[in-house]
Chains A and B, each alone.
Chain A
Amino acid sequence: MSENRYQRIGCDIAWCPGCGNYGIAKILGETLQELELDPQQTVLVSGIGQAAKLPQYFNLHYFNGLHGRALPPATAIKASNRSLTVLAESGDGDMYGEGGNHLLHCIRRNPDLTNIVHNNMVYGLTKGQASPTSPRGLVTPLQIDGVILEPFNPLAVAIALDASFVARAYVGHAEQTRAILKAAILHKGYALVDLLQPCVTFNKLNTYNWFEAHTSPLPADHDPFDRMQAFARACEDDPLRLGIFYQKEKPVFEDQLAAYVDDKRPLFERRVDVNKLAETIRAAG
Chain B
Amino acid sequence: MNRIKQRPGEINLLFGGEAGQGLQTIAQILARMFMNGGLHVLAVSEFMSRIRGGSNSITLRAANQPVRAQDETIDICVLLDKDALPRLKGRCAPATLMIGDPKLFGPGSGMLPLPLNELGAQAGGTIYSNSIVCGAIACLVGWELPLLEAALAKVFSSPELLAKNLAAAKLGWDHGTEAAGHFDLPPQEKKAGQLLLDGSQAVAFGALAGGCTFIASYPMSPSTGVLIHLAKSAHSHGVVVEQAEDEISAINMGLGSWYAGGRALVSTSGGGFDLMAEGLSLAGAIESPMVIHLAQRPGPGTGLPTRTEQGDLEIARYSGHGEFPRAILAPGSPEEAFACAAHAFTMADASQSPVFLLTDQYLLDTLCDLEPFHLPDAAPEPRIVTTTKEYRRYAAGADGISPRGIPGLGEGIVRVDSDEHDEEGCITEDFDLRTAMVDKRLAKLRLLKEDLALAPRLYGTADYRRLIVGWGSTAPAVVEALERVRPASTAFLHCVQLYPLPQAVLDHLQQASKIIVIESNATGQFARLLRVETGCTITRQWNKYNGLAFTVDEVAALLQQEVNP
Residues of A within 8 A of B (CB): 11, 14, 39-41, 43, 45, 48, 53, 55-56, 59-66, 69, 71-81, 83-84, 101-102, 104-105, 257-263, 266-274, 276-278, 280-282, 284-285
Q: How far apart sit A71 and B244, CA to CA, in the bound complex (Å)? A: 12
Chain A residues whose CB sits within 8 angstroms of the CB of B259 once the complex forms = 63, 73, 77
A selection of 30 A-B contacts at a CB cut-off of 8 Å is A14-B427, A43-B260, A59-B413, A62-B415, A62-B416, A65-B252, A65-B282, A66-B252, A66-B279, A71-B249, A75-B256, A76-B214, A76-B253, A76-B254, A76-B256, A79-B214, A79-B257, A80-B260, A80-B262, A84-B408, A105-B245, A105-B249, A258-B239, A260-B238, A268-B260, A268-B384, A273-B379, A274-B376, A277-B208, A277-B375
Tell me whether B186 is interfacial, beta carbon within 8 Å. Answer: no
B377:A258 contact, CB within 8 angstroms: no
Known A72-B216, A80-B260; 20 more pairs at CB < 8 Å = A48-B419, A61-B415, A63-B286, A64-B415, A65-B282, A69-B278, A73-B252, A76-B253, A76-B254, A76-B255, A77-B256, A80-B262, A81-B261, A102-B248, A271-B379, A272-B379, A273-B379, A274-B209, A277-B205, A284-B197
A40:B211 contact, CB within 8 angstroms: no
- Residue in A14, A66, A83 whose CB lies within 8 Å of B282: A66
B238:A263 contact, CB within 8 angstroms: yes
Chain B residues whose CB sits within 8 angstroms of the CB of A11 once the complex forms = 426
Most B-side CB within 10 Å, residue of A60, A75, A259, A272: A272
Tell me whether B233 is interfacial, beta carbon within 8 Å. Answer: yes
A282:B372 contact, CB within 8 angstroms: yes
Nearest CB of chain A from residue B197's CB, rounded to whole Å: 5
Ranked 5 nearest A-B pairs via Cβ? A268-B261, A285-B195, A73-B256, A76-B256, A271-B379
Chain A residues whose CB sits within 8 angstroms of the CB of B212 once the complex forms = 272
Nearest CB of chain B from residue A284's CB, rounded to whole Å: 6
Chain A residues whose CB sits within 8 angstroms of the CB of B124 once the complex forms = none
Nearest CB of chain A from residue B186's CB, rounded to whole Å: 24
Q: How far apart sit A17 and B246, CA to CA, in the bound complex (Å)? A: 38
B260-319, CB < 8 A from A: 260-264, 278-279, 282, 286
Chain B residues whose CB sits within 8 angstroms of the CB of A262 once the complex forms = 235, 238
**With A45-B256, A72-B256, A75-B253 in contact, is A64–B417 under 8 Å at CB?**
yes
Q: How far apart sit A66 and B277, CA to CA, in the bound complex (Å)? A: 12
Tell me whether B327 is interfacial, beta carbon within 8 Å. Answer: no
A271:B211 contact, CB within 8 angstroms: yes
Tell me whether B366 is interfacial, beta carbon within 8 Å. Answer: no
Chain B residues whose CB sits within 8 angstroms of the CB of A41 once the complex forms = 407-408
**With A72-B256, A83-B408, A101-B246 in contact, is A64–B418 under 8 Å at CB?**
yes
Q: How far apart sit A258 and B381, CA to CA, in the bound complex (Å)? A: 23
Task: Using CB atoms, name the residue of chain A closest to B243.
Answer: A105
Interface residues as binary, B202-213 with A (CB distance below 8 Å gives 1, 0 otherwise):
000100111111
A84:B407 contact, CB within 8 angstroms: yes
Chain A residues whose CB sits within 8 angstroms of the CB of B210 once the complex forms = 272
Q: How far apart sit A80 and B384, CA to CA, in the bound complex (Å)? A: 14
Interface residues as binary, B405-449 with A (CB distance below 8 Å gives 1, 0 otherwise):
011111101111111000001110000000000000000000000
- Residue in A48, A64, A81, A102 whose CB lies within 8 Å of B408: A81
Tell me whether B382 is interfacial, beta carbon within 8 Å. Answer: yes
B408:A280 contact, CB within 8 angstroms: no
Chain A residues whose CB sits within 8 angstroms of the CB of B242 once the complex forms = 79, 257
B415:A80 contact, CB within 8 angstroms: no
Chain B residues whose CB sits within 8 angstroms of the CB of A277 once the complex forms = 205, 208-209, 237, 375
Task: Using CB atoms, name the residue of chain A closest to B416.
Answer: A63
Chain B residues whose CB sits within 8 angstroms of the CB of A280 once the complex forms = 205, 208, 233, 236-237
B416:A74 contact, CB within 8 angstroms: no
- Give chain A's interface secondary structure class: helix
- Residue in B213, B253, B254 whose CB lies within 8 Å of A267: B213
Nearest CB of chain B from residue A233's CB, rounded to whole Å: 28
Nearest CB of chain B from residue A251's CB, rounded to whole Å: 15
A72:B427 contact, CB within 8 angstroms: no
**With A63-B259, A285-B197 in contact, is A272–B237 under 8 Å at CB?**
yes
Task: Using CB atoms, name the residue of chain A closest to B195.
Answer: A285
Task: Using CB atoms, name the residue of chain A closest to B426.
Answer: A56
B408:A40 contact, CB within 8 angstroms: yes
Nearest CB of chain A from residue B423's CB, rounded to whole Å: 14
Interface residues as binary, B377-400 with A (CB distance below 8 Å gives 1, 0 otherwise):
111111010000000000000000
B209:A101 contact, CB within 8 angstroms: no
**With A40-B408, A258-B234, A285-B195 in contact, is A81–B418 under 8 Å at CB?**
no
Task: Using CB atoms, name the residue of chain A closest to B246.
Answer: A101
Q: How far apart sit A71 and B246, CA to CA, in the bound complex (Å)? A: 13
Chain A residues whose CB sits within 8 angstroms of the CB of B415 once the complex forms = 55, 61-62, 64
A267:B214 contact, CB within 8 angstroms: yes
- Residue in A69, A77, A105, A261 whose CB lies within 8 Å of B279: A69
Q: How far apart sit A34 and B113, CA to CA, in the bound complex (Å)? A: 83
- Residue in A81, A272, A284 whose CB lies within 8 Å of B407: A81
B261:A266 contact, CB within 8 angstroms: yes
Chain A residues whose CB sits within 8 angstroms of the CB of B401 once the complex forms = none
Tell me whether B201 is interfacial, beta carbon within 8 Å. Answer: yes
- Residue in A266, A273, A281 whose CB lies within 8 Å of B205: A281
Tell me whether B241 is interfacial, beta carbon within 8 Å. Answer: yes
Tell me whether B147 is interfacial, beta carbon within 8 Å. Answer: no
A102:B245 contact, CB within 8 angstroms: yes
B255:A65 contact, CB within 8 angstroms: yes
A61:B237 contact, CB within 8 angstroms: no
A281:B249 contact, CB within 8 angstroms: no
Nearest CB of chain A from residue B238's CB, rounded to whole Å: 5
Chain B residues whose CB sits within 8 angstroms of the CB of A258 once the complex forms = 234-235, 239, 241
- Residue in B196, B256, B279, B417 whose CB lies within 8 Å of A74: B256
Most A-side CB within 10 Å, residue of B195, B408, B419: B408
Chain B residues whose CB sits within 8 angstroms of the CB of A269 once the complex forms = 261
Nearest CB of chain A from residue B66's CB, rounded to whole Å: 16
Task: Using CB atoms, name the residue of chain B closest to A78.
Answer: B260
Chain A residues whose CB sits within 8 angstroms of the CB of B214 once the complex forms = 76, 79-80, 267
B426:A267 contact, CB within 8 angstroms: no
Q: How far apart sit A57 and B233, CA to CA, in the bound complex (Å)? A: 41
Most B-side CB within 10 Å, residue of A66, A74, A271: A66
- Residue in A72, A268, A276 whose CB lies within 8 Å of B237: A276
Nearest CB of chain B from residue A63's CB, rounded to whole Å: 5
- Residue in B196, B240, B378, B419 whose CB lies within 8 Å of A257: B240
B263:A267 contact, CB within 8 angstroms: yes
Q: How far apart sit A64 and B425, CA to CA, in the bound complex (Å)? A: 9
- Residue in A63, A101, A276, A284 whose CB lies within 8 Å of B256: A63
B379:A274 contact, CB within 8 angstroms: yes
B184-230, CB < 8 A from A: 193-197, 201, 205, 208-214, 216, 229
B262:A76 contact, CB within 8 angstroms: yes
B379:A267 contact, CB within 8 angstroms: no
B240:A40 contact, CB within 8 angstroms: no
Chain A residues whose CB sits within 8 angstroms of the CB of B384 once the complex forms = 268
B407:A43 contact, CB within 8 angstroms: yes
Q: How far apart sit A34 and B501, CA to CA, in the bound complex (Å)? A: 55
B418:A66 contact, CB within 8 angstroms: yes
B253:A274 contact, CB within 8 angstroms: no
Chain B residues whose CB sits within 8 angstroms of the CB of A77 once the complex forms = 256-257, 259-260, 407
**With A104-B245, A276-B236, A281-B372 in contact, is A259–B216 under 8 Å at CB?**
no
